[in-house]
Amino acid sequence: MSYIAEGYEEYLSTVAELLIAEGMTEAASVLRLSTPKVEETGYDNWNGGTSIWTIYLRVEPVSYAQLGASREALEEQINNRLKSVLEQFSDGWVSIKIVPLVKPRADWPEIEGGISRVIRQNIFDGLRIDNVVWSGRLEEVEFLERLFDLKTLPSTDSRYSDASGDIWQHRVNNPQDWDDDWIYADQRFNLLQCPADQFLRFLSEIVHPVVRPDRNESLKIVQQFNDQLRLEGWHLVEDEKIAGRPRFIGRRIRNSNHRSVTRARSAADALDAGWMQKEIERLENAVERDPALAIGTAKELVETCCKTILGKRGVEISRGDDLPKLTKALAKELKLVPEGISDEAKGANSIRLILQNLSSMTQNLAELRGLYGSGHGRDGKHRGLEPRHARLAVGAAAAFIDFVTETYHRRTEIEKQETSRDV
């Protein structure tokens, strides 16, 4: 199986294409950002002898830590597609393992939560691919003056005393002198290595309402930024509205919320539910800035999850079925509250209560949304809930989604085994 060591890059690139085509963007991103290492990790003497290979996907330590409990699900997604690619060449054993990239760093005692050069480069490459004009409707000098004191930065042209005149000469007076993406590599601004907060301010300015008035265009760009930033624990969130349009700022992802969202994303990938991914993106951006929207979206996410699983199980549902009816149908179909637990079994009553409360939780979530969530008119004295309440709703929704998705796959596997025994 030397072909594994020699041609693994083309196999992995094919796997990445499959993941993207199937909407498993997080797994594709991990694969694309990793530094692969192929090793022969075992040998089996059965049937003439078979080598056992492991492809280690080495990722930046911060990115590895942010993956958390989702690593196993991502490994499974990548492994399944790699198997499909390799089975045409051999029936040997190859597996994927996501591991942290080990590399020397003399400055490790001072390391803080930054944003790697790789992530920054990916963001800039995305802007290039989509032909996004980073300065929007502003002149480039006008855009940069909102972030930097150009009068204090040097000129690369001896005819001008500072960066302001230099940029005007080569981007306004003679725009063909510099490429449109010159800013990304200009050492005066050092966007590939500057402090994280400065880099995030630059990204936030690209989608500022004054720079880019089209709300839909800004939201699309923010989503693309966050797809990359999330890997290192950052994201852009809405801070306020200007003329009805969102203004974004960079923030660290709170660990508790990130873990909940990660579980929900893994479940959505496992269910191949693209619409759930969109709801998760909206929910993640709303927890801090708009708790009411986050609570409403959490309820909608649970509803979408129920409908998706019931649909995959072939259970007919009415268009007007509300969340309690959907969760009741799901509990019955998946046998979430199993019968036959012996009363003498230690903790039997506790097991029943946990499972029953997990199902009834969605009813409480729906009521919470009705009282405090989005979608209802309020009087002028109404005071909404805080982000901590939204995180509670998100955590509850993620726990339910995680559990029912795992139960769905487990139940499907059991049924397959029973069918194969009957044949």
pLDDT digits 0-9 by tens, 32-56: 888 888 888 776 665 556 677 888 8
> Sorting pLDDT into bands at 50, 70 and 90, what band is 311?
confident
Residues 6+ apart with CB under 8 A from 308: 271, 273, 276
For residues 125 and 153, membership in a common domain is answered with yes
How many Cα atoms within 13 Å fall on the side-chain side of residue 110? Answer: 2
pLDDT above 50 (res 376): no
CB contact burial 301-325 (16+ within 10 A = b; e otherwise): bbbbbbbbbbeeeeeeeeeeeebee
Q: Is 47 exposed, middle or buried (0-12, 13-18, 19+ CB in 10 A)?
A: exposed
Q: Residue 188 is encoded by which pair of tokens?
A: 């005066």
Identify whether residues 204 and 303 lie together within a single domain.
no
Where helices occur in 22-161 by DSSP H, the ranges are: 25-33, 61-67, 71-86, 117-129, 140-145
Q: 248 falls in which pLDDT band (50, 70, 90)?
A: very high
Whether 3 shows a pLDDT value over 70: the answer reads no
Q: State the pLDDT at residue 361.
A: 67
Residue 112 in any domain: the answer is: no
pLDDT in tens, 187-236: 999 999 888 889 999 999 999 999 999 988 999 999 899 888 877 878 89
* Choice between 416 and 201, residue whose per-residue pLDDT is larger: 201
Cα-based distances in Å from 376 to 38, 294, 371, 382, 384? 55, 14, 8, 11, 12
Give the start-end residues of each E strand in 11-69.
35-44, 50-59
Cβ atoms of 188 and 194 closer than 8 Å = no
Identify the band that residue 346 occupies on the pLDDT scale cut at 50, 70 and 90: low
Q: What pLDDT score was predicted for residue 377?
A: 47
User: Both 194 and 238 in a single domain?
Assistant: yes
Same domain? For 349 and 389 the reply is: yes
Dihedral angle computed from the Cα positions of residues 416, 417, 418 and 422, in that order, rounded to the nearest 10 degrees: 100
Average pLDDT over the chain reads 79
pTM of structure? 0.43
Query: Higher-confidence residue: 408 or 204?
Result: 204
Q: Is residue 334 part of a domain?
A: yes
Domain, as residue range, for 370: 255-376+384-422
Q: Which of 151-160, 311-320, 359-368 has the highest mean pLDDT?
A: 151-160
pLDDT confidence bin for 379, thresholds 50/70/90: very low
Look at the block and give the residue holding tokens 């991990």. Answer: 30
Residue whose entry in the numeric block shows the structure tokens 């940029």:
167
Residue 343 and residue 199 in one domain: no
Establish if 332 belongs to a structural domain.
yes
Confidence at residue 203, expressed as pLDDT on a 0 to 100 scale:
97
pLDDT of residue 103: 72
pLDDT higher than threshold 50 for residue 12: yes
- For residues 283 and 416, state if they share a domain: yes
Query: How is residue 50 written in tokens?
Result: 């078979």
- Both tokens of 23, joined, read 């909407």
Tell me if 182 is assigned to some domain: yes
The confidence score (pLDDT) of residue 47 equals 55
Say whether pLDDT at 269 is over 80: no
